[in-house]
Amino acid sequence: MSAAVGRLPGGARIRTFIRRSAKALIGRVAVLVRVSHRRTTRAGIVLAGALGPMIISTQEPRGSTFLRLVLQNPINRILMERLPQLGLQDAWLVAGSLFQTVWNLQSSRPPTEGIKDYDVFYFDGDDRSWESEDKQIRRIRSVLGDVGANIEPRNQARVHLWYGERFGPGYPPLQSSRDGIDRFLVDCTRVAIRLSGAVGELYAPSGLDELYGGVLRPNPLNPRPKLFIEKAESYRARWPWLKVENQWACR
């Protein structure tokens, strides 16, 4: 169990909650990934790879493997249980908290090590104002304040309004949270999980092979060479076994 749990109020109560909720969470999530093959990683973890698109149940090894890995991070487990209660439209737990947990486990590190924040995407196209998003950010952080982690909610309906000023032009208006996930700079990091009622999804438009293999290549949907290289080198500083491929493709 990571040190993060020890920082939470009522640590024993939360550890009990984590153990009791594990099977319930895994049973409620279906996975949108790709048909896979299996291989063993550097840490001896058997992983499910990806070849062709379909939705599979996490009762099958291909989906349950990824879910069980990311739920070894106790913060992920708590967020997945609580996010549906917030009433956010098209809400997903995305990116770093998922793939960085997997890389930590593959490196025999604590699952929460080096994870700076936990990104939550939602989509509210009816109100794209900063005031509305700021209100949601403050509400979500208040509700999740006992989690002991930096939660970063972002309304994907308004990303195009500020992205160009910060990172350069060419970022289109999005139609869903998945559109935002699709445009992550590093291709293999395009992963997200959500629960919705009794079922859920894991979204992985690039599959899982290169995530498990630590292959960092630019995403052709958002080709920004300088930003990609900065992001890739930041990852490699923490997980040196990762490898950069085809960085010329985004030039």
The C-alpha atoms of residue 102 and residue 238 are separated, in whole angstroms, by 13
Number of domains making up the chain: 1
Helices (H), ranges, the chain: 3-6, 11-28, 61-70, 74-82, 96-106, 130-143, 159-167, 177-182, 209-213, 225-238
Picking from 242, 210, 214, 216, the residue whose alpha carbon sits closest to that of residue 229 is: 216
The C-alpha atoms of residue 79 and residue 66 are separated, in whole angstroms, by 16
Helix, strand, or coil (residue 120)? strand
- How many other C-beta atoms can be found within 10 angstroms of the C-beta atom of residue 25? 20
Exposed, middle or buried, 132 (CB in 10 Å: 0-12/13-18/19+)?
middle
The C-alpha atoms of residue 130 and residue 153 are separated, in whole angstroms, by 12
pLDDT score at 36? 38
What integer best gives the mean pLDDT of the chain?
80
The C-alpha atoms of residue 75 and residue 235 are separated, in whole angstroms, by 20
pLDDT score at 49? 42
The C-alpha atoms of residue 87 and residue 166 are separated, in whole angstroms, by 29
Helix, strand, or coil (residue 246)? coil
Interval 95-135: pLDDT, tens? 899 999 999 999 999 999 999 999 999 999 999 999 999 99
The C-alpha atoms of residue 192 and residue 208 are separated, in whole angstroms, by 12
pLDDT score at 66? 83
The C-alpha atoms of residue 15 and residue 65 are separated, in whole angstroms, by 21
Q: Percentage of the chain surpassing pLDDT 90?
A: 54
Give CB contacts under 8 A, 24+ apart, made by 15-23.
15/74, 17/78, 17/81, 18/74, 18/77, 18/78, 21/77, 21/81, 22/71, 22/77
pTM comes to 0.80
Provide the angle, in degrees to the nearest 10, between the axes of the packed helices 11-28 and 74-82. Answer: 70
Exposed, middle or buried, 70 (CB in 10 Å: 0-12/13-18/19+)?
buried
pLDDT score at 204? 87
Q: Is the dihedral of CA 189, 195, 196, 202 positive or negative?
A: positive
Please give the residue range of the domain that contains residue 104. Answer: 3-250
pLDDT score at 55? 43
pLDDT score at 25? 60
Are the CB atoms for 35 and 50 separated by under 8 Å?
yes
Q: Which residues of the chain have pLDDT under 50?
A: 1-18, 34-40, 44-58, 249-251
The C-alpha atoms of residue 141 and residue 137 are separated, in whole angstroms, by 6
